């Protein structure tokens, strides 16, 4: 299992453009097809559903497991965009709303690992949001996800923890329903380090997918059904530094970063 990514630039009639990062399987399927189309001089209309918006000093979009991509969708908006691009948009300059290099938002509090500890962030009753640039050096693989409810409540997945009901079914107390298959969602614990020290972070679903480049369900099946060496697979995650925004918290007598809200990979 190899973590891959492709970065695309999308623009529309607004005169703006945005970066779209394709992770994991999206690189080999839709990403490869998009690259071949662009290299042959065909510039398709692309619609993105359920992408994750990152907001480090600008806006960018990344794919997660629930993301869906639509090539040249049959809709009035897509037809209008196609007509605009063919007539003038192809040769029109656009202004990117994505940063070239992640700097820092005006309200961003950038800290080193040692500053988080030395300043006692996360020890008060009020949560401390911090931004840190660090390398993911280790990921726990003994427990990395939980069994979750796959049912939809409106346009959102329930995602509450489920329990076994008998030998082959799962039960969600929130939805008060049983089902044969559950979903799996990340509750990922990773160690990060910078030049000042190291600490632990907890990453939930979308952040876990961005770090490892695959869904929690894919990794779960790899470990428990295919009996593969999940430690070896996790060690293949893309190296390099990440900029992440998270809540500094105290668990027992230890400080850690909890609930990673957004992150950006530095090439």
Mean of pLDDT values over 168-186: 92
Give the model's pLDDT for residue 1.
41
Mean of pLDDT values over 78-102: 80
Q: Kindly tell me the sign of the dihedral angle through the C-alpha atoms of 244, 195, 256, 107.
A: negative
Judgement on whether residues 16 and 126 belong to the same structural domain of the protein: no
Mean of pLDDT values over 124-146: 85
In a domain, 90, yes or no: yes
Judgement on whether residues 150 and 256 belong to the same structural domain of the protein: yes
Give the model's pLDDT for residue 235.
63
In a domain, 21, yes or no: yes
Give the model's pLDDT for residue 102.
45
Judgement on whether residues 66 and 136 belong to the same structural domain of the protein: no
Judgement on whether residues 122 and 244 belong to the same structural domain of the protein: yes
Scan for tokens 């160690």, then name that residue.
191
Judgement on whether residues 211 and 127 belong to the same structural domain of the protein: yes
Scan for tokens 């000093």, then name that residue.
57
Q: 236 is in which domain, residue-wise?
A: 113-265
pLDDT at residue 100 is higher than 60:
no
In a domain, 103, yes or no: no
Mean of pLDDT values over 50-71: 82
In a domain, 101, yes or no: no
Mean of pLDDT values over 170-185: 93
Mean of pLDDT values over 93-112: 64
Scan for tokens 């907890």, then name that residue.
202
Structure-model confidence comparison of residues 105 and 96, the more confident one: 96
Judgement on whether residues 167 and 240 belong to the same structural domain of the protein: yes
Mean of pLDDT values over 58-87: 89
Return the beta strands (E) in the chain as ranges. 5-11, 16-23, 46-49, 52-54, 60-62, 68-71, 95-96, 128-139, 145-148, 152-153, 156-157, 163-165, 169-172, 177-179, 183-194, 197-204, 241-251, 254-265
Residue 184 CA to residue 170 CA, distance in Å, equals 12
The 3-state DSSP class for residue 221 equals helix
pLDDT at residue 178 is higher than 90:
yes
Structure-model confidence comparison of residues 28 and 196, the more confident one: 196
For residue range 17-51, what is the model confidence (pLDDT) as tens digits?
888 888 877 877 888 888 888 888 889 999 999 88
In a domain, 107, yes or no: no
For residue range 107-118, what is the model confidence (pLDDT) as tens digits?
566 889 999 888
End-of-domain residue from the set 64, 96, 128: 96
For residue range 240-252, what is the model confidence (pLDDT) as tens digits?
788 887 888 776 6
pLDDT at residue 202 is higher than 80:
yes
End-of-domain residue from the set 96, 126, 154: 96
In a domain, 133, yes or no: yes
The long-range contacts involving 13-17, CB below 8 angstroms and separated by at least 24 positions, are 13/80, 13/81, 13/84, 13/89, 15/92, 15/94, 15/95, 16/94, 16/95, 16/96, 16/97, 17/94, 17/95, 17/96, 17/97, 17/98
Residue 45 CA to residue 8 CA, distance in Å, equals 12
Residue 110 CA to residue 266 CA, distance in Å, equals 16
Cβ contacts of 95 within 8 Å, gap of 6 or more: 15, 16, 17
Give the model's pLDDT for residue 116.
87
Judgement on whether residues 248 and 139 belong to the same structural domain of the protein: yes
- Percent of all residues in the chain with a pLDDT value above 90, rounded to a whole number: 26
Judgement on whether residues 118 and 243 belong to the same structural domain of the protein: yes
pLDDT category at 91 given cuts 50, 70, 90 is confident
Q: What is the CATH number of the domain that holds 16?
A: 2.40.50.140
pLDDT at residue 104 is higher than 60:
no
Judgement on whether residues 121 and 92 belong to the same structural domain of the protein: no
Cβ burial of 127 (10 Å; 0-12, 13-18, 19+) is middle
In a domain, 104, yes or no: no
Judgement on whether residues 43 and 153 belong to the same structural domain of the protein: no
Quick one: tokens of 199?
A: 């600490």
In the chain, helix, strand, coil percent, each to 5?
Answer: 20, 40, 40
Give the model's pLDDT for residue 76.
92
252: alpha, beta or left, given left = phi > 0 and alpha = psi -120 to 50? Answer: left
Structure-model confidence comparison of residues 236 and 159, the more confident one: 159
pLDDT category at 223 given cuts 50, 70, 90 is confident
Judgement on whether residues 162 and 228 belong to the same structural domain of the protein: yes
In a domain, 123, yes or no: yes
Number of domains in the chain: 2
Judgement on whether residues 193 and 138 belong to the same structural domain of the protein: yes
In contact, 211 and 237? CB cutoff 8 Å:
yes
C-alpha 164: how far from chain center: 28
């Amino acid at each position: 299992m190899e973590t891959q990514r492709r970065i695309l630039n999308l623009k529309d009639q607004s005169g703006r453009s945005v970066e779209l990062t394709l992770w994991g399987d999206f690189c080999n399927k839709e990403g490869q097809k998009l690259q071949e189309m662009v290299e042959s001089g065909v510039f398709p209309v692309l619609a993105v559903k359920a992408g994750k918006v990152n907001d480090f000093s600008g806006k960018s979009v990344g794919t997660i497991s629930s993301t869906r991509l639509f090539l040249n969708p049959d809709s009035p908006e897509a037809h209008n965009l196609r007509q605009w691009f063919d007539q003038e948009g192809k040769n029109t300059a656009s202004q990117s709303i994505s940063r070239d290099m992640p700097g820092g938002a005006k309200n961003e509090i950038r800290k080193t690992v040692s500053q988080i500890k030395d300043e006692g962030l996360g020890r008060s009753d009020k949560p401390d949001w911090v931004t840190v640039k660090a390398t993911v050096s280790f990921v726990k693989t003994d427990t990395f996800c939980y069994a979750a409810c796959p049912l939809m409540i409106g346009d959102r997945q329930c995602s509450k923890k489920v329990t076994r009901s008998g030998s082959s079914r799962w039960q969600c107390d929130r939805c008060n329903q049983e089902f044969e298959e559950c979903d799996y969602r990340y509750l990922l614990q990773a160690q990060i380090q910078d030049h000042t020290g190291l600490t632990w972070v907890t990453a939930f679903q979308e952040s876990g997918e961005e770090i490892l480049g695959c869904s929690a369900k894919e990794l779960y099946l790899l470990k428990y059904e295919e009996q593969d060496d999940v430690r070896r697979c996790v060690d293949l995650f893309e190296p390099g530094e990440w900029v992440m925004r998270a809540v500094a918290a105290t668990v027992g007598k230890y400080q850690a970063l909890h609930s990673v809200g957004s992150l950006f990979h530095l090439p």
